[in-house]
Amino acid sequence: MTDAAEIEPGLYDIPAELYHSDPVPGGSLSSSGAKLLADCPARFKWQLDNPQPYKAAFEFGTAAHTVVLGDGPELVVVDADLWNTNEIRAKVAAIREAGGIPLKQAAYQRICDMAEALAAHPIASEIFTPGTGIAEQSAFWFDGSIWRRSRFDWLRDNEIDDYKTTTSVHPDALQKTVHQFGYHQQEDFYRAVAIGLGLIPPTGIFQFVFQEKQPPYLVEVAELDPVAKSVGRYLNDFAISRYLAGRETGHWAGYSETSTVISLPPYIERQYS
């Protein structure tokens, strides 16, 4: 794929930058967009019209993906503990401009240690065995009403695997993480695209591989339960209905179109009941 006019439903091995620029004529909806729409259409529209520059804060996670999945931007170690001189700043900027990721030696070593810990995990190591899947594939699908796009971390026969770096893989923490970052919406959205394109069957597996970013770099392979999947599907259906309405009317609502009555959080009310 080199031009927006060439887009057809299917799986493409294209750079992340092209995927995120949305090469579909007239626009397509991603999982990230669906999360914003389920929360607030006006916020979705603003971010659509005002694309934000790539944040350096995301570089560590992207670099970890590159090492674990064996696909991604070039990682360049900048041999300096502090990036506060004009020379180093220029070097870091040039690396980013060329599409690479600059890393301090300590950060690069931490990512290598994470990859080593993941390789020692009996399930995660089997999932990401080189040659058993393809990494960082972009998918575009017309579902009958809208174009959708997804970018799969790791695609295997009958299975999608998504690698996430996080602060804690304790089950209680992961419950909050899934809710906070809308991973239940992501799973439903990705599954719909993959099934629609015939990449996986309706019974295909979707697994998250979570890994902590601090020693000992614990790993947890997880699937969402039926309730989480059902909520994700409901939120995506709601988001798509808002997307269609916004495109048809040009109106992208905020949180409320009328005056709102605000209560205190329930746990505060209970203290005084």
- Are residues 73 and 46 both part of a single domain? no
Q: How many Å is the maximal CA-CA distance in the chain?
A: 63
Residue 259 belongs to a domain with what CATH number?
A: 3.90.320.10
Residue at which a domain ends, from 104, 119, 134: 119
Q: At residue 249, does pLDDT exceed 80? A: yes
For residue 3, pLDDT beyond 90: no
pLDDT at 1: 53
The pLDDT of residue 51 is above 90: no
Structure confidence at residue 2 (pLDDT):
46
Q: From CA 232, how far away is CA 230, in angstroms rounded?
A: 5
pLDDT tens per residue, range 150-167: 999 999 999 999 999 999
Answer yes or no: is 1 within a domain: no
Q: Confidence class of residue 8 from pLDDT cuts 50, 70 and 90?
A: very high
34 and 149 in a single domain? The answer is yes
**96, 119, 142 - which closes a domain:** 119
Chain segment 65-119, per-residue pLDDT in tens? 999 999 988 999 998 888 989 999 999 999 998 989 999 999 999 999 999 999 9
Within a domain: 2: no
Domain co-membership, 28 together with 108: no
Domain with 173, as residue range(s), is 8-52+122-271
Mean pLDDT score of the chain: 94
Percentage above 70 pLDDT, the chain: 96
Q: What is the DSSP string of 222-234?
A: E---HHHHHHHHH
- Residue 257: Cβ within 10 Å count: 8
Together in a domain, 113 and 180: no
Instruction: Report yes or no on 3 lying in a domain.
Output: no
Q: How many domains does the chain have?
A: 2
Helices (H), 77-225: 86-97, 105-119, 122-127, 171-181, 183-196
Same domain, 64 and 181: no
- The C-alpha atoms of residue 227 and residue 230 are separated, in whole angstroms, by 5
Please check the confidence at residue 4 and state whether its pLDDT lies above 50: no
